[in-house]
Structure 1
């Protein structure tokens, strides 16, 4: 259960656009809070920095319990990917998002909290999902990470986001 995520986390995000060679950075705060229906609300607010300057952004996702385990949905309820430690896949039209969620129990444990990625600032449909490992991702005092490698006719980038707990 992702209840261990409840609270506030700082994050840093790097985006490498492969076609143009552009590099972007973002940083901000992710807040995980209880929501209706046993869900967990995942709200991010931050600042994205590009060659053209900086701009604020927000994003809302939900972690949702189900018969097959927890899943991540977009704010409007569309399915995004299973919430598992390891690899996940999401199809967005003809583009493919290949994600790697690394918590302390995963094979990426040594990198826990060093880097991670976006969980889909895009208009994805609900089809096309895959899971390579059937374990729920864990968190750790040092943090956790998600990395997305996105490829297809419209997108070609890698996005890595690292989350660290904010102790108050």
Structure 2
């Protein structure tokens, strides 16, 4: 599946398990994938994280770019590379001093993003489920 197959509005549910702190939380919100150019998709997330008895607004913007090598790559908003877009296969992100391993998988109506972050600073599991939001009539 390509990022262009996922253009649209999504309901986001994320489970956060911080094994080091011994707490579990969740994020509820929305994700929007927008075609910027034929070779660029903007990925915006916004929601509320509930963790350890606190609620915190969260958001992030990613950009997925199609390169000259015919591969798609996910970038942070500031342009740094986050990870390859490899649907159904393991992807990695080195975030010193920790390492992230993830998988993007699913269908055009429901997909998941799963990350494990391990190292001296983190021991996390992040499980995101994205379900396509129904189009609304004007």
TM-score of the superposed pair, with normalisation by structure 1:
0.75
Q: CA RMSD in A?
A: 1.3
Cα distance in 2 for residues equivalent to 1:41 and 1:76? 12
Match of 1:95 among 75, 94, 98: 98
Q: CA deviation at 1:24?
A: 1.1
Counterpart of 2:121 in 1: which secondary structure?
coil
Match of 2:76 in 1: 74
What whole-Å deviation, never above 9, does each CA across 1:28-65 have from its counterpart, x for those lacking one?
A: 00001122573100000001012232121110001100
Structure 2 residue 134 is matched with structure 1 residue 167: yes
Q: CA deviation at 1:102?
A: 1.5
Q: CA deviation at 1:167?
A: 0.9
Match of 1:144 in 2: 111
Which consecutive aligned stretches of 4+ in structure 1 deviate over 2 angstroms post-superposition?
A: none
List runs of 5+ in structure 1 lacking aligned partners. Answer: 104-138
Number of residue pairs matched by the alignment: 132
What whole-Å deviation, never above 9, does each CA across 1:101-155 have from its counterpart, x for those lacking one?
A: 112xxxxxxxxxxxxxxxxxxxxxxxxxxxxxxxxxxx332x0001101000111
